[in-house]
Structure 1
Amino acid sequence: MSGPSRRAFLRGLLAAPLVAGCTGGSAGPLVLAAGEPGGFYVEFGELLAEALGAAGVPAAVVNTGGSVENIQQLRDGAAAIGLALTDIALAARNGEDPFGGPVPLLALGRVYENYMQLVVRAEDPATSTADLAGRPVSLGAVGSGAAVFGDRLLATAGIAADVTHRPLRDAVAALEAGTADALLWSGGVPTPALAELAARRPMRLLPLAEHLPALRARHGEVYGPVTVPADAYGPAAPVPTVGVANLLICTAALPDETAAAVARTLVTAAPALVPESAVGTQYLDQRSLIGTGEVPLHPGAAAAYRELHG
């Protein structure tokens, strides 16, 4: 489907009553809590909504601050499915901050890899996280997984910075204007808003892989080593950073047949669910969809995967 027709399709869905996502009924589209405009969550969410619609499950994408807000929307019944980083999903299931109590999330599949991207202007002298001590840094939007990871990163590294939490596009504007010296983003590679920034002015990423041992010691093995490919944002060498798997999640309120339909779509439409701009290691691999770790699969999704793969 072309860009204009895809947008028209989604506008039509968003104009309809968003009821099915709350009730599990058929009065409206399935509500998918995605993320910020300019980020990979929204791109992926729109592709998934299109594929679900083609499979007979109308779906509507809503913009949010990211993982934390998505989980809150699922908990409160405002959305039926959503995207979340594995570390944030586990924090929710365990009732850790910022959730204030356990949220019994289930997974529909492990969909792709998120890359932690710490961005500075190309001319900035910083070469590591430690060089940002005392400086103005935007650590993700309120309600995002990047905000939680950013706090964990600075605590693990023993660094104090002048921290703000801005939406991605505001953080990009602050970096360009010089009111922020760095921004942290968690998403696919390349993230559209960061690619747009790189096209306007030189920028680069700081390596984060050095913090992996300490992060894993404190927070478990949800974090792993990944590399942002060379030239992802213009001429640059590969950058070793921290990755965390991204899950498509729901609660037990999602009917089994709906969960099964989503799982089947993830498998059968997998090639169409990776944005064309993506150059990094994206999951959406039929073998890894079921690898949701400590977040159990929804029974309907598990049944569909068994039916498809034995």
Structure 2
Amino acid sequence: MLKRRTFLLGALALAACSSSEPSGTIRIAGGEPGGFYNDFAALLSRLSPSPLTITPLQTGGSADNLKHLREGTADLGLTLSDSAHMETGLVALGRVYENYLQLVVLENSPYRTPADLIGERVSLGAAGSGASLQGERLALGVQEQHYPLRNAIDALQAGEIAALLWSGGVPTPELNKASGIRLLPLDTFLPRLRQDYGKVYERVDVRTGVYGSQADIPTIGTPNLLVCRPDLSDGYASAVVRLLVENAADLVPDQALGTQYLDVRSLIDTGRVPLHPGAAAEYRRLHG
């Protein structure tokens, strides 16, 4: 695997030397409507160079995307790195953005800390989502529900659940449109998560003003990976890497603006998931 310090911003200038794109269609397992994965997959599709076509699939999220890869119904998938670590025989095309874990309650609710939610009905993400896995690992002691984001927001505002857990960009558009919400801090869970599952989890702050907050809210961040099976052709892997590098500035969903960005220097930092050989070769070629 390439070392991060060897991959420089000069790759952008060298990208113009890339070879012609392969033809055909590859499918990317994205996410649910309103979520970061769905938006990012749509941008990849829109920017895919002819004659290559990237077709996005709406899914439940990380775990569901890995299932699509296993079953051969998708060629690429977006997944949280903690979900990827549970999978065998997986390779990466790059590390893209960071997901922020967001525990959302109504502004006028009495809940101030996660402990206040013990015994309450809480949506821990849609079935098959990264939030669902992370909610399980948090062990909040709640009555678990599993709603897609839009349904969870409706249930929260109707008083059917006390809170919802979401893993996504900041600000997530669907949450940004919801009035009268706030986030609970999750940083107290970080030491145990890192002890039990490694450094895949890190502290991040949802900045003052997001969702109307009056202060930074500390929570948990997890890197997102673009992954595939090892049998994806080198040509396709190389083409997707070029797409990521050449279009870094344009592959920024609205919910990532201001808090996250696609950093070409960190694309190769895929942790315990090895780079696809074709992707690694393309990064080396772009580096010169």
Question: Normalization by structure 1: what TM-score?
Answer: 0.83
Determine what percentage of the aligned residue pairs are the same residue. 53
1:149-187 CA-partner distances (Å, limit 9, x unpaired): 001001xxxx42111111111111100100011000001
- Residue in 1 aligned with 2:43? 47
> In structure 2, how many angstroms separate the alpha carbons of the residues matched to 1:296 and 1:253?
14
Judge conservation of contact 2:63–2:79 (CA < 8 Å) in 1.
yes
One-letter amino acid of the structure 1 residue matched with residue 172 of structure 2: T
Q: Please give the residue correspondences for 1:101-116 in structure 2 after superposition, counting only pairs within 5 Å.
A: 104-116=89-101
> In structure 2, how many angstroms separate the alpha carbons of the residues matched to 1:69 and 1:60?
17
> In structure 2, how many angstroms separate the alpha carbons of the residues matched to 1:83 and 1:283?
16
Q: Are positions 1:253 and 2:231 aligned together?
A: yes
Indicate which of 95, 105, 123 corresponds to 2:108.
123
Secondary structure of the corresponding residue to residue 142 of structure 1:
coil
Judge conservation of contact 1:136–1:163 (CA < 8 Å) in 2.
yes
Q: Are positions 1:189 and 2:175 aligned together?
A: no
Indicate which of 133, 139, 163 corresponds to 2:124.
139
Judge conservation of contact 1:40–1:192 (CA < 8 Å) in 2.
no
> In structure 2, how many angstroms separate the alpha carbons of the residues matched to 1:148 and 1:217?
16
> In structure 2, how many angstroms separate the alpha carbons of the residues matched to 1:56 and 1:294?
33
One-letter amino acid of the structure 2 residue matched with residue 76 of structure 1: E
Aligned residue pairs total 267
- Residue in 2 aligned with 1:30? 26
Aligned CA RMSD, in angstroms, stands at 1.4
Secondary structure of the corresponding residue to residue 171 of structure 2:
coil
Q: Are positions 1:70 and 2:65 aligned together?
A: yes
Secondary structure of the corresponding residue to residue 272 of structure 1:
coil
Measure how far apart 1:78 and its partner are: 0.2
Secondary structure of the corresponding residue to residue 60 of structure 1:
strand
Judge conservation of contact 1:55–1:265 (CA < 8 Å) in 2.
no
Q: Which runs of 5+ in 1 are unaligned?
A: 1-24, 94-103
Q: Which runs of 5+ in 2 are unaligned?
A: 1-21
Residues 225, 280 of structure 1: alpha-carbon distance in 2 compared, 3 angstrom cutoff: farther
- Residue in 2 aligned with 1:21? none
- Residue in 1 aligned with 2:222? 244
Indicate which of 66, 74, 80 corresponds to 2:75.
80
Secondary structure of the corresponding residue to residue 236 of structure 1:
coil
> In structure 2, how many angstroms separate the alpha carbons of the residues matched to 1:275 and 1:70?
19
- Residue in 1 aligned with 2:51? 56
Give the ranges of 4+ consecutive aligned residues of structure 1 lying more than 3 Å apart after TM superposition. Answer: none
